[in-house]
């Protein structure tokens, strides 16, 4: 009877990493590719050269027994993970210290993000700490300290956030006072030509900075500079915290790790308490400010430069959102085409692939659309930020407001969608997704801080909203904005569009979708601006009490429209040789816009752009758009080029092995190394034997 089964009734062959067998279902999905995957991958990474650099990092990691990522990571304690990554940091230094350290230039996508499970121990040293010196130190300070950082003779951190002051330390570009919440003080002692650093209150304790508590020996400390009793605002100071020989803390310094967290277990997030710690006057970072021997304070540039380092991190976070969501999609989508559940297919008893359920496609396809849109938009922001850093050195701050607006908005919108997306994927994988072996729980918890650090997302949307409102006021004075704000000039035209959708086909037109997102944003901006303009409340009350929710909603709608525009611009202008690449990206752009409109289209009904019945048209259009993408899901996901050695997943590997490896890793887990657990004989058997 078995031999008489039709091919349709035979279960597809399963994948096996051990035997190098690719699951039949995964093989078949790959064969459906109708575009040049390599060309899309190169574009996704920002060019062939960047992709080659990434692959080189991966190759080094895969071929070294100390650097190689393994499932054992998931079974380590926090202390074991930290020590393991210390070993790996040392190993990279041994392999090629010039490449990875001495000649390393700060990057938005650093080499260690591709090579390390968990969090690289010295990522802040090689990013924010290094950038502080480069951007805020004068030439003499850069020459003195930067080579030591590159040689790993100075391991440092960016000590800004305090126990009582989180997002309110961020620069508000429209105001004169910066970092106004910080309490740490740096008081100038003219007699000894020194600054005295103090943490005067419990809330002034530096709290949360990475590499502050245990890893770092140095810190750029942000503190209120006080000279002759006058507060000259928050300034950055170089502080040595630990003895270079013993690594013990120096007198007057108390620091340590803040303890267990929701994720980020392998990173040292620390606290710092300062008690009359003296540093030379020359430790004030002096590219933009100066204090002479007599205590005279002068400004040599624009104080907004102090914000440049944090902005760099926000740009990096925006880029990281797309990359991280792509990792989760790689795991989840592969699992979804190999895992079959329930015999619901007509004409066969073979169970249906998870990804062939419409509900599953509605979870995954929008996330894939967001991944590509966020990636290409963030790459454009990265180029803008690079130009800004060059301009600032010559005193040109023209791009600062725009870069601040976009980096704040992208950070807020992208990280929330990414975090929620990872959770959606984890849940959709059922019990397998809940297992650490899937790679998803660690990915989710390690990504979780992104929604909070470098600015709470709500505050970041409020920051982003400021330039929107400022632009509206400028328009009322006769100014005509350009670039991403060009559509502000067309608000009346956009808001006058009525009954634009007659059926679902109209919602598959990219022009109509662009107009819909523009109208949604325009309506929220105009109504918010009008409410604030006619309110008799103070500007403070308007922004923080009466209309803060309006501002957040407005900013998010604007950011998602701008993202769509950048995505379309990339599709139209990038010189793809394979026309099918553009076709697939356009399909994803449709899914992106329809997802946004399904989530929030009230404004479109308010304006009359949508009318009764359009809600169903939206849903039917999304069904059609997602169905078009479905055959290309695996090729589009695998164009993200996430290697097995990076994801370390028992359910998302390139072999489609979702059973054999999962069971093998379970058998080899730490808890199964003894037949009887410690404590059973001492505490439980006496109960079972009635001896208590």
**CATH code, domain with 184:** 2.40.110.10
Question: What is the percentage of the chain residues whose pLDDT exceeds 70?
Answer: 97
Does some domain include residue 205? Answer: yes
End-to-end CA distance of the chain: 59
Asked which of 81-90, 176-185, 453-462, 500-509 is least confident by mean pLDDT, the reply is: 176-185
Alpha-carbon distance of 25 to 337, in angstroms, equals 6
Is 213 annotated as ligand-binding? Answer: no
| Same domain assignment for residues 464 and 530 | yes
For residue range 41-94, list pLDDT tens digits in order.
999 999 999 999 999 999 999 999 999 999 999 999 999 999 999 999 999 999
Residue 351 corresponds to which tokens in the numbers above? 């169970």
Residue 620 CB burial class (10 angstroms; 0-12, 13-18, ≥19): middle
| Same domain assignment for residues 416 and 347 | yes
| Same domain assignment for residues 350 and 210 | no
- What is the rounded average pLDDT for all residues in the chain? 93
| Same domain assignment for residues 388 and 278 | no
Say how far residue 173 (Cα) sits from the centre of its chain.
23
What single-letter DSSP state applies at residue 11?
P
| Same domain assignment for residues 464 and 320 | yes
- 3-state secondary structure at position 178: coil
User: Are the CB atoms for 522 and 494 separated by under 8 Å?
Assistant: yes
CB atoms within 10 A of CB 350: 16
Per-residue confidence band for 157, with pLDDT thresholds at 50, 70 and 90: very high
- pLDDT higher than threshold 70 for residue 340: yes
**pTM given for the model:** 0.94
Per-residue confidence band for 174, with pLDDT thresholds at 50, 70 and 90: very low
User: Are the CB atoms for 196 and 147 separated by under 8 Å?
Assistant: no
| Same domain assignment for residues 489 and 533 | yes
Which residues are known catalytic residues? 454
Residue 360 corresponds to which tokens in the numbers above? 């599953």
Domain total of the chain:
3
Alpha-carbon distance of 591 to 624, in angstroms, equals 9
Query: How would DSSP label each residue in 35-99?
Result: S-HHHHHHHHTTSHHHHHHHHHHHHHHHT-TTT---GGGGG--HHHHHHHHHHHHHHHHHHHHII
Does some domain include residue 362? Answer: yes
> Mean pLDDT, to the nearest integer, of 99-124?
90
Residue 336 corresponds to which tokens in the numbers above? 């979804």
Does some domain include residue 684? Answer: no
**246 CB contacts (<8 Å, ≥6 apart)?**
none
| Same domain assignment for residues 124 and 198 | no
Q: Is the dihedral of CA 599, 603, 605, 609 positive or negative?
A: negative
Alpha-carbon distance of 61 to 72, in angstroms, equals 16
Element (H, E) at 447: helix 440-447
**271 CB contacts (<8 Å, ≥6 apart)?**
163, 205, 206, 207, 208, 212, 213, 255, 256, 257, 258
Does some domain include residue 665? Answer: no
For residue range 271-288, list pLDDT tens digits in order.
999 999 999 999 999 998
Residue tagged 């709500």 (tokens)? 458
Residue 429 corresponds to which tokens in the numbers above? 């994988």
The upper half-sphere exposure of residue 682, i.e. CA atoms within 13 Å in the direction of its Cβ, equals: 3
Residue 199 corresponds to which tokens in the numbers above? 């943490």
Q: Cα torsion for 673, 678, 681, 682, to the nearest 10°?
A: 170
| Same domain assignment for residues 360 and 258 | no
Alpha-carbon distance of 315 to 301, in angstroms, equals 23
| Same domain assignment for residues 96 and 190 | no
Per-residue confidence band for 652, with pLDDT thresholds at 50, 70 and 90: very high
Asked which of 31-35, 247-251, 297-301 is least confident by mean pLDDT, the reply is: 297-301
Count of all residues that appear for the chain in the document:
692
Does some domain include residue 75? Answer: yes
Domain that holds residue 202: 156-303
pLDDT at 678: 94
Per-residue confidence band for 300, with pLDDT thresholds at 50, 70 and 90: confident
**CATH code, domain with 371:** 1.20.140.10
| Same domain assignment for residues 318 and 462 | yes
User: Are the CB atoms for 132 and 285 separated by under 8 Å?
Assistant: yes
- pLDDT higher than threshold 70 for residue 398: yes
User: Are the CB atoms for 224 and 188 separated by under 8 Å?
Assistant: no
**458 CB contacts (<8 Å, ≥6 apart)?**
412, 552
Does some domain include residue 655? Answer: no
Is 613 annotated as ligand-binding? Answer: no
| Measured CA angle at 442 (ends 424, 433), to 5 deg | 45
Does some domain include residue 63? Answer: yes
Residue 674 CB burial class (10 angstroms; 0-12, 13-18, ≥19): exposed
Asked which of 279, 303, 327 is the last residue of a domain, the reply is 303
Asked which of 303, 325, 343 is the last residue of a domain, the reply is 303
pLDDT at 305: 72
Strands 230-240 and 253-257: unpaired
Does some domain include residue 533? Answer: yes
User: Are the CB atoms for 127 and 112 separated by under 8 Å?
Assistant: no
Q: Is the dihedral of CA 450, 451, 455, 457 positive or negative?
A: positive
User: Are the CB atoms for 555 and 466 separated by under 8 Å?
Assistant: no
Asked which of 273, 303, 333 is the last residue of a domain, the reply is 303
| Same domain assignment for residues 343 and 203 | no
| Same domain assignment for residues 479 and 345 | yes
């Amino acid at each position: 009877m078995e031999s008489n089964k039709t091919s349709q009734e035979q279960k597809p062959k399963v994948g096996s990493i051990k035997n190098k067998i690719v699951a039949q279902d995964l093989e078949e999905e790959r064969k459906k590719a109708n575009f040049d995957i390599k060309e899309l991958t190169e574009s996704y990474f920002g060019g062939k050269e960047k992709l080659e650099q990434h692959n080189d990092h991966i190759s080094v990691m895969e071929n070294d027994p100390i650097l190689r990522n393994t499932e054992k990571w998931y079974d380590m304690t926090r202390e074991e993970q930290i020590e393991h990554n210390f070993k790996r940091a040392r190993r990279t230094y041994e392999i090629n210290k010039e490449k990875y350290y001495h000649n390393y230039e700060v990057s938005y996508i650093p080499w260690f993000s591709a090579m390390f499970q968990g969090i690289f121990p010295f990522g802040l040293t090689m990013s924010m700490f290094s950038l502080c010196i480069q951007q805020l130190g004068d030439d003499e300070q850069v020459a003195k300290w930067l080579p030591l950082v590159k040689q790993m003779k100075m391991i440092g951190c960016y000590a800004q956030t305090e126990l009582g002051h989180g997002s309110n330390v961020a620069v508000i570009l429209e105001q004169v006072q910066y970092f106004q919440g910080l309490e740490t003080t740096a008081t100038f002692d003219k007699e000894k030509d020194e600054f005295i650093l103090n943490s005067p209150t419990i809330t002034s304790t530096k709290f949360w900075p990475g590499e502050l508590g245990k890893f770092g020996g140095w810190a750029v400390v942000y503190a209120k500079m006080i000279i002759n009793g006058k507060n000259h605002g928050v300034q950055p100071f170089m502080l040595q915290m630990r003895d270079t020989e013993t690594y013990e803390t120096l007198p007057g310094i108390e620091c340590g790790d803040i303890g267990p967290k929701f994720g980020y277990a392998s990173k040292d997030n620390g606290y710092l308490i300062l008690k009359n710690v003296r540093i030379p006057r020359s430790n004030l970072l002096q590219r933009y400010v100066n204090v002479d021997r007599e205590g005279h304070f002068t400004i040599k540039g624009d104080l907004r430069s102090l914000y440049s380092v944090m902005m760099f991190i926000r740009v990096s976070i925006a880029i990281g959102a797309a990359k991280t969501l792509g990792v989760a999609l790689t795991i989840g989508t592969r699992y979804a085409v190999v895992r079959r559940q329930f015999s619901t297919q007509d004409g066969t008893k073979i169970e249906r692939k998870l990804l062939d359920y419409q509900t599953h496609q509605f979870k995954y396809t929008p996330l894939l659309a967001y991944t590509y849109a966020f990636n290409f938009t963030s790459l454009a922001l990265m180029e803008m930020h690079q130009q800004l850093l060059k301009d600032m050195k010559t005193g040109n701050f023209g791009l600062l407001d725009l870069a601040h607006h976009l980096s704040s908005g992208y950070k807020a919108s992208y990280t929330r969608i990414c975090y929620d997306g990872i959770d959606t994927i984890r849940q959709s994988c059922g019990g397998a997704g809940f297992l650490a072996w899937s790679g998803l729980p660690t990915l989710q918890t390690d990504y979780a801080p992104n929604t909070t650090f470098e600015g709470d997302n709500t505050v970041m949307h409020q920051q982003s909203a400021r330039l929107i409102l400022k632009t509206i006021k400028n328009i009322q004075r006769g100014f005509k904005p350009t670039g991403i704000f060009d559509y502000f000039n067309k608000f009346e035209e956009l808001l006058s569009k009525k009954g634009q959708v007659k059926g679902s086909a109209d919602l598959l037109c990219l022009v109509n979708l662009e107009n819909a997102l523009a109208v949604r944003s325009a309506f929220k901006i105009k109504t918010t601006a009008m409410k604030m303009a006619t309110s008799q409340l103070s500007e403070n009350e308007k922004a923080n009490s009466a209309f803060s929710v309006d501002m957040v909603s407005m900013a998010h709608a604007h950011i998602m429209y701008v993202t769509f525009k950048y995505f379309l611009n990339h599709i139209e202008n990038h010189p793809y040789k394979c026309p099918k690449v553009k076709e697939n990206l356009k399909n994803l752009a449709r899914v992106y816009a329809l997802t946004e409109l399904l989530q929030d289209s009230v404004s479109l009904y308010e304006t009359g752009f949508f009318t009764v019945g359009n809600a169903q048209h939206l849903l039917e259009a999304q069904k059609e758009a997602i169905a078009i993408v479905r055959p290309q899901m695996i090729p589009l996901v695998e164009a993200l080029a996430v290697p097995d050695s990076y994801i370390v997943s028992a359910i998302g590997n390139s072999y489609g092995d979702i059973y054999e490896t999962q069971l093998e890793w379970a058998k080899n887990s730490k808890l199964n190394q003894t037949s009887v657990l410690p404590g059973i004989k001492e505490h439980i058997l006496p109960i079972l034997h009635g001896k208590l």
